[in-house]
Amino acid sequence: MPTNRTDDKCALPSCTCSVPAGQRYCSEECKRAHAHPDEQSEQCPCEHAECTSAGPSGGVTV
Ligand SMILES: [Zn+2]
Ligand SMILES: [Zn+2]
Pure H helices in 1-62: 28-35, 49-52
pLDDT, one tens digit for every residue, the chain (62 residues)? 666 656 789 999 888 888 988 899 999 999 999 998 887 677 888 988 878 765 555 444 44
Q: What is the per-residue burial (b if ≥16 Cβ within 10 Å, else e) of 26-54?
A: bbebbbebbeeeeebeebbbbebeebbee
What CA–CA distance (Å, rounded) separates 43 from 49? Answer: 12
Question: From ligand 2's centre to the CA of 1, what distance in Å?
Answer: 29
Question: From ligand 1's centre to the CA of 21, what distance in Å?
Answer: 16
DSSP for 15-26?
---EEETT-S-S
Question: From ligand 2's centre to the CA of 6, what distance in Å?
Answer: 16
Domain ranges across the chain: 1-37
What CA–CA distance (Å, rounded) separates 45 from 27? Answer: 9
